[in-house]
Amino acid sequence: MTRLMVRMRRWWARRWSAVTSAGRQAGMSTAEYAVGTLAAVAFAVVLIGVVKSGAVKTTLTSIIQHALSVAS
């Protein structure tokens, strides 16, 4: 094998190694997407429950009414 061929093989080996190793951990797997989606839905359900509670609803209503009365 010539020196050029050896250098080219080494270059390709390094390049291939960099591409394949970066691709393994580049993104989330399907299971991680599922867990993330379930966590987001659970958080949304809790947030909706809190916002619909009586105390929060009255507080938000009073804040909005106060803001509207100050503006006019």
- Condensed to tens digits (0 to 9), the pLDDT of residues 9-57 reads 888 888 887 766 655 555 667 888 889 899 999 999 999 988 888 888 8
Place of tokens 């394949």: 20
Residues counted in the chain: 72
Predicted pLDDT of residue 9: 86
- Count CA atoms within 13 Å of residue 59 on its CB side: 7
How many Å from the N-terminal Cα to the C-terminal Cα in the chain?
87
Model pTM above 0.75: no
